[in-house]
Structure 1
Amino acid sequence: MRAFIVAALLAAGSLSGASAWAQTVEVANVKYEPGIDLAGQKLQLNGAGVRYKFVVKVYTAGLYLTTKAGTPQEVLAAPGPKRIHIHMLRDIDGNELGRLFTKGMEDNAPREEFVKSINGVLKLSEIFASRKQLNNGDSFYVDYVPGLGSTVLLNGKPIGETIKEPEFFTALLRIWLGDKPADAALKDALLGIKKERRR
């Protein structure tokens, strides 16, 4: 009987833990699901945060992986599909965003990796340029599936061709997780590290 009670308590504890994990994460009024399905696999939200430009909120970002990762090295080495989900918090010119992303990749990726990513960098820039402007409320994902490549989805719809080079997605993630990240506080947030933002 005692063993049964202990087992029941453990089951209840694991269920409460599961329900806690299953709660939606809200960042700057943008909701990120705790888990998603991608290419037949379950991904979990590794972390989410806000990209600031001085004191202005530019966008939120959420990172999804098959397993939790607490360092950039663990994120880049994580197996299986991955997703970076960006949600705009202000209007921004498409060409400007393309330039910022290109610079972020160039500043953080090793030279050889960036060179192998050029095709993807150009495709991403074309996607942003064709859009002219991303508006407050727009969201885009970049989904990476091993063996297939990276797909860009704008407001839930695929846009542009699949970017086949695996180096592209790695270089893309370095924008936020590299040695010169776009926003140091956002880097910590994507890694699940909770810190107070300096004012």
Structure 2
Amino acid sequence: MKKPLILALLLACAATASAAEDLVLNGSGLRTKLILGTMYKLSLYVPEALKGADAKTLIEASQPMEFTLAIQSGLITRERFVETTSGGFAKAAQSGYTSDQTQAFLGQFAATEFKKGDTVVMRYGPGGLSTFYRKQADGSETKLGTIAGLDLKKALFAIWLGDTPAQASLKQALLGTP
């Protein structure tokens, strides 16, 4: 009984790793704030078939893709991250992208202390699962959690790719357009 369960878990992990390996960089850009400077670098990885697709297609797609958010400012704290992301979800909702899972997503960061150099990985993968990781500057990695549902992925991606993105120039950079 244990062997089939272990095999299933290993295959699920391999599928997730394989999905991440098959992604290509679609675009990357900096989130900046007047006076404060650069807050983070955000990169979007998509399947080759979606490279160069428009924002709506990327938001709506139920295919593996990933955001990596590399923190470049010591001003980003857990509280600011949660507050800003919550505001991003509110803007995404104005564009029709809502999820009952936003509080579960934000709750994953309850015990997370961000530091300059950390990276947050937001990966949507097989089976409609969104998995979130924190990679620390020292190379260690912590899985924050996994949440099921395409609606969460859509709401999360709409924060940066939706009609009212966090920053218009960042959206264009993520889409790979000048």
Q: Deviations over 1:137-188 (max 9, x none)?
A: 0001111014141000100634233110211011001111111111111000
Q: Which amino acid aligns with 2:134?
A: L
**Could you tell me which residue of structure 2 aligns to residue 176 of structure 1?**
160
Q: Higher mean Cα deviation, 42-51 or 161-170?
A: 161-170
Of residues 76, 101, 116, the one that matches 2:59 is 76
Q: Deviations over 1:29-62 (max 9, x none)?
A: xxxxxxxx64376111000000011141000000
Q: Is the 8 A contact 2:97 2:158 kept in 1?
A: no
1:94 and 2:78 are equivalent in the alignment = yes
**Which structure 2 residue ranges, 5 or more long, are not aligned?**
1-16
Q: Which amino acid aligns with 1:68?
A: K
Q: Is the 8 A contact 2:78 2:109 kept in 1?
A: yes
Cα distance in 1 for residues equivalent to 2:100 and 2:89: 10
**Could you tell me which residue of structure 2 aligns to residue 152 of structure 1?**
132
**Could you tell me which residue of structure 1 aligns to residue 4 of structure 2?**
none
Cα distance in 2 for residues equivalent to 1:65 and 1:158: 22
1:134 and 2:114 are equivalent in the alignment = yes
Q: Deviations over 1:54-106 (max 9, x none)?
A: 14100000001102134211212445201001000012110221111111112
Task: Compute the RMSD of aligned alpha carbons.
Answer: 2.1
Cα distance in 2 for residues equivalent to 1:112 and 1:52: 26
Greater relative CO, 1 or 2 (CA 8 Å, sep 6+): 2
Q: Is the 8 A contact 1:49 1:186 kept in 2?
A: yes
Of residues 61, 67, 73, the one that matches 2:42 is 61
Question: Aligned to 1:118, what secondary structure does the other structure show?
Answer: coil
Change (3 A) 1:184 1:111: closer
Structure 1 vs Structure 2: percent identity of aligned residues? 29
Q: Which amino acid aligns with 1:147?
A: G
Q: Shift of the alpha carbon at 1:123?
A: 2.4
- The structure that has the greater radius of gyration is 1
TM-score norm. by structure 2 comes to 0.78
Q: Which amino acid aligns with 1:107?
A: K
**Could you tell me which residue of structure 2 aligns to residue 107 of structure 1?**
91
TM-score norm. by structure 1 comes to 0.70
Cα distance in 2 for residues equivalent to 1:161 and 1:58: 24
Cα distance in 2 for residues equivalent to 1:38 and 1:176: 25
Q: Shift of the alpha carbon at 1:111?
A: 7.6
**Could you tell me which residue of structure 2 aligns to residue 143 of structure 1?**
123
Cα distance in 2 for residues equivalent to 1:191 and 1:111: 18
